[in-house]
Amino acid sequence: MLLHYKKIIDKELKFFSQKLPPLPIYEPIKYIINLGGKRFRPSLTLLSTDLFCEKPLLSINEAIAIELFHNFTLIHDDIMDHAPLRRNQQSVHNKWNINNAILSGDLLYALVNKLLSTSSSQSPEIHELFQQTAIEVCEGQSLDMEFENKNDISLTDYVKMIQLKTSVLVACALKIGAIIGGADSKDANLLYNYGLNLGTAFQIHDDILDVYPNEDYFGKQVGGDIIEKKKTILLVELLKNSSSEDKKIIYQTLEDKVINGNSKVYKIKEYYKKYNILKLAVQSKDEYYEKAIDCVNQISISEDKKNLIKEFSLALMQRKF
């Protein structure tokens, strides 16, 4: 249902990319833009503007800025995570090299800022929210890196991390769209909180799907996060709830360099079962999802429009978007 907006975004991104100078340092930027993606963050900006003034194009520059900022973080995150692939293609540092990936990422962020500074709909509030969000996204990535070598992560720490790393940008995309559409600050903040909670539910669901995939996930390594010792809500809950004896074995299993990945996943899944971890994680996910829907219900827009957002929320959670 955001397809209409996605088409606008794709067209605008293509135009943006074609206008870039022919210097080699712009090549990685053109490349990552053209790798595609769901474009759901910028689509939400246009939707959010549309909700309040029915002129979605008013926020096109900010929508593009949000998508490009997201792409900048992908370039740098892929270096930090040593990820060889992005959207099933070579990541930027893999296709070029680390120096090119660092610099083209920096350049992309500068282009984003230039775009924001020349947009007709700019306001100090939008600038500040955008850059505060950028700060938070960096903080989130730093917590994620920190947590890799830390075992005593609380659920609060975990939620804080995924919210900073992922949800705040979704929330920001929605709030900026709302501000540009003329929403009052109550509604703009409700959309922010909707995005924050929905993003959190989405990320928790992502953790769940890694271990308990539905049929659409066929072909993906089940339990990849376990093999990579990633801090997911499942592992955080398991370490919180298991006996000290079991915890010891869990740590040993995660660190085990002898047994293969599938056996590791199998063993950890046995503990998830023993401590009913799936249920706990699903409960968390549902709580955040409900909080998100609660926010939607409080926004001063028509029921039809509320239903539109709710349909999108459901589609997103079911990965049908």
Q: What angle do CA 303, 2, 179 make, to 5 degrees?
A: 65
Nearer to a copy of itself, 143 or 295 (CB): 143
Site for a copy of itself contains 80 (CB under 8 A): yes
Q: How far apart are CA 212 and CA 265, in angstroms?
A: 11
> Rounded to whole angstroms, how far apart are CA atoms 6 and 207?
26
User: What is the helix (H) or strand (E) element at residue 85, kind and residue range?
Assistant: strand 85-86
Q: Of the ranges 131-139, 183-191, 247-255, 307-315, which one interacts with a copy of itself (CB under 8 A)? A: 131-139
Q: What are phi and psi of 232, to 5 degrees?
A: -115, 170
Cβ-based burial of 174 (10 A; exposed 0-12, middle 13-18, buried ≥19): buried
Q: Which stretch binds a copy of itself (CB under 8 A): 115-123, 185-193, 198-206, 254-262?
A: 115-123
> 191: part of which helix (H) or strand (E)?
helix 185-211
Contact status: 132 vs a copy of itself (CB under 8 A): yes
Site string for a copy of itself, 135-174 (x = CB under 8 A): x--xx-xxx-xx----------------------------
Q: What minimum distance in Å lies between the beta carbon of 137 and a copy of itself?
A: 8
Query: What gap in Å lies between CA 131 and CA 254, rounded to an integer?
Result: 38
| Residue 111 binds a copy of itself (CB under 8 A) | yes
Among 35, 53, 83, 102, binds a copy of itself (CB under 8 A): 102
CA–CA gap between residue 16 and residue 14 (Å, rounded) = 5
Helix ranges (H only) for 244-302 are: 244-255, 261-274, 277-298
Considering the complex, state which of residue 18 and residue 88 has its C-beta at the smaller distance from a copy of itself. Answer: 18
Our finding on whether 229 is near a copy of itself (CB under 8 A) is no
Structure tokens at 35: 């790798």
Among 60, 64, 65, 107, binds a copy of itself (CB under 8 A): 107
Q: Using CB under 8 A as the criterion, which residues of the chain lie in contact with a copy of itself when the complex forms?
A: 21, 23-25, 76, 79-80, 98-100, 102-103, 105-107, 109-111, 113-114, 116-118, 122, 124, 127-128, 130-132, 134-135, 138-139, 141-143, 145-146
